Structure 1
Amino acid sequence: MEDARTAIANDWQSEEITCIAMNDHYVKDQNCPREFLMNKNNRVLDPTHLTSLPAAVRVGIRAALAYGHQFDTHFETVESAAPGTKFMKKVSIRTVRVAGFRFVVGWQHHMGKDVQYGSRSSGWWKLAEDLVTKKASAVSLPVSWIQEEEASKWQAELNGVFDQTEHLCRKEDLDAAILKALALQKSPVILCDPFLPECPVIGVNAAAQAMTGWGHVGRQEVASADVRLLAGAKPSERGGYHLTYGRYAEGEEEELQRLAVRAACANGRPCSVKFRKMFELPGDRPLSLWLQGVTVAYGVNKGPLGGGAHIWYLVGILSDAPVDAWEKEAPSSVAMASLKQALQEVLEAHDALPKPGDSQEAGEKDWHPYGGDVRLLSKLVWHCQP
């Protein structure tokens, strides 16, 4: 896998894309040094970093990767990655398999608004293919490009994203607002995103960091933090807790809970889940974890999230008390009430999002003035476990 990363770019599963094929105009732009563009930690899909991808395309790519889609696409009028500068560009994105792993390769064709990127048979496509093949061959890795008929399967699904400059960008704002609310909580809480592969932990507040030893966890660290809710992960040498380690035998309560969460995420159904004990390394104390699903918005119009789709998260309370976190006498029961109030205030106070509304699907006229992809509920819907 490291050879593949060296040959091409970052692993697609970490939601990172690096522009590895660039035209001379872009490379020679002094405001966009090669070191910035070629850095494998560039994290083009991370909205907190400067990027040559518009938010709509970035989130569309993330959603496509999350559901295992392969695709080719083009988009135009993209802001430059250089601080304080803007250029008109033509960008292409293609999916390639290298040594069995899938990567997304992006490259820029020309500066200037009047130049067309051309068809698949044009020189730009061949230049990119030759570059990737050369890099992979240098380390003896096989390469196969996603065929046009395979890629076109999902093109129609993604057109709604690429055709709307602002489409889907507000889901990221919603993430940020909820993470901010969690950070203010005194009790140890975590946030998981079921719209990303394996429902990873995308936020841990200071109290949870102190209890678990995870350190800071955010979208940037999801791929390396080893705190995915559903995937099987090996214990880390640096210690700390793992939601994913397979310590439960098939048929045990916690394993059944894990499978229930996996099914719920796959089918888009919010849920609640309880883990009586998380995996602990020698010397660590056992923790109980109380996760509750909460719907905060509905998707609107077209796009990977879908019109009317539930926009929901799993928020969790950690407890090291002898009593399980979800019991009435547990201190965490008070913490959950505080957390629910904090998240409700997000809907009432976060003015960067579309105005609160009812549960009906919003039309284009409702979301377009705000440039958003979600319509907030006026009240949170919590999905409590029976």
Structure 2
Amino acid sequence: LVDADGVLELNSSAGAIGIGTDADAQNIDIGIGAAARTITVGNITGATAVNVNSGLGGTAIVSTGTGDITVDSDDTFLVDADDVLELNSSAGAISIGNDDIDQAINIGTQGERTISIGTGAFADAINIGNQTTTTSVTVTSGTGGIELNANDGSAGTDDVVITGNNFSVTDAGVMAVEGAITAASFSGTMVTSSLSPAINEALTISTTTNDGNANDHITFNSVDNVAINAEGDILLDADGDIVLDAAGNNITMKVSGTDRLDIFNDNGDVVIQSKTNLKDIVFKQFNGTEVLSLNHDLSGTFAAALNTATFDATGTVDLSSSSGVTTIGSTTGLTVSAAGVLDVNNTTDASSSTDGSMIIDGGVGIAKKLYVGTNL
């Protein structure tokens, strides 16, 4: 027993100081008494090194009560285990990088490993990042992909919520969403310019089922207008029909924002109305030949054959030609039937069989009287 009421020192000026360096299996106790004391091992001078080694019994560092265990290094602090390495807290939070030092925190930056955070069976709230100035959070994967799984939608509320000024999908081959995207999922405006970079390939919105009802349809609903804008063409292509259904009774065609044509319902009648003053509605063939022109001054031109068994008109029928010649032709015969007087009101006089107000190439059969107002 070595005991001192004052300082007790054990020094060596030339060799090592060994305590418990023999091969006897006995404990070496330092400062295990009940008194409160500070036990110091080593110093921070020059190349001083402190080694704590153990065999199969392990190494335990224990602090009881409110005492803390502090490990401080002015250089690298390395914790390495050949087996499992655990960092647990039975009463308080576990903090990594919780100080105010601007340095990177790296987890799993080397090797091929599975990194699990909060994968236990208990209800955890897992927070990554903050909203302070330029803080950024990047989740990167290789061909294994990135999966956000909210317990298959059984939470009863919003499962996966992405909040931000812009939501960008970059370098994406296919973006697949399984399940419903509700109106509450997008509280702002979703536009092409919000994607970085912008969409340079085809964007397809499709359904993969066909159950014969509205459940597999693609529907755009809005409390306001729905606008589809394109710098090129907009193509509507359907294996079935294309249906335009306007509860407001009006379908309008515009050109550069100007109304040109309206198709609307008037008490069951379908009305096609030109919306440009002093302009006509013109129908043309594929080669550009005009077939029918409905003019703004209530006139019209018709350049095609009119094939019908009966042509009925309750009002006045005016057949006129700007060239001065109106021709009515028939391969089997032509009958002009009138309940009243049939009047040819041209007053051109005749001097031969080839002039006058009416010229008939063949013979004339008259069932009733013929009155001639001058010489024959």
Report the TM-score, using the length of structure 1 for normalisation: 0.16
* Larger RCO (alpha carbons 8 Å, 6+ apart): 1
Hey, which of these two has a bigger chunk of strand by percent? 1
Larger-Rg structure: 2
Report the TM-score, using the length of structure 2 for normalisation: 0.16
